[in-house]
Amino acid sequence: MNKAIFLDKDGTLVDNSGYPDIIPSDKIFFDRTIKGLKMLQNAGFKLIIISSQPWVANGRLKTEQVEEIFKSVVMQYLNEGIKIDAYYYCPHNRSEGCKCKKPNVALLEIAAERFKINPSESFFIGDMWEDILTGKNFGLKTILVKTGREKDYNSTIEPDFIVEDVNEAADKVIS
């Protein structure tokens, strides 16, 4: 069995401060993610992005545009020596009731089957309550980063750790 770090994209790996005008973004938080992702990769974790992209269902973006953004993120990290093993995203609106929209776990189930992931040795890192609840729903340890939309996290859903960024999250995972 493998261990994985499931990562939210917007607000965790990339800057989403332009939301809602700029959606989604591929502007990576280089100084807040590179060191940590390298540490996690070197420790044997699969790096898998799990994201909600309702812009497709809302008609603001085409699937091809979302794919280009994800490919850009993956390539930018690869240029830094970091391999993102896979990315999965939900293109639906919450009102559609799909099983892939966070905090549902269908995307994690797909990734776990594909990569033979052991949830008890894996983590979900994200910037919003939906990320934390998704991780908990799948039996993962959870880490909230303060780089995104929930800098002042006030949910009743408690993450296992609250840290500044992915670099600090990696320190918690490795320690």
Residue 152: per-residue pLDDT: 63
Pairing status of strand 123-126 against strand 86-90: unpaired
- The overall average pLDDT reported for the chain is 93
- Asked whether the predicted pLDDT for residue 154 surpasses 80, the reply is no
Pairing status of strand 141-145 against strand 161-163: parallel
Q: Which CATH topology does 3-174 take?
A: Rossmann fold (3.40.50)
Q: SS3 string of 31-72?
A: HHHHHHHHHHHHCCEEEEEEEECCCCCCCCCCHHHHHHHHHH
Residue 54's pLDDT band (cuts 50, 70, 90) = confident
Give the whole-angstrom CA distance, residue 63 versus residue 162.
Answer: 33
Q: What is the pLDDT of residues 68-117, one digit of tens each?
A: 999 999 999 999 999 999 999 999 988 888 999 999 999 999 999 999 99
What percentage of the chain reaches a pLDDT higher than 90? 81
Q: What is the pLDDT of residues 72-81, one digit of tens each?
A: 999 999 999 9
Residue 150's pLDDT band (cuts 50, 70, 90) = low
What percentage of the chain reaches a pLDDT higher than 70? 97
Q: Is 81 left (phi over 0), alpha (psi -120 to 50) or beta?
A: left
Structure tokens at 151: 């800098």
- Asked whether the predicted pLDDT for residue 13 surpasses 90, the reply is yes
Beta bridge partners of 18: none
Answer yes or no: are the C-beta atoms of 140 and 102 closer than 8 Å.
no
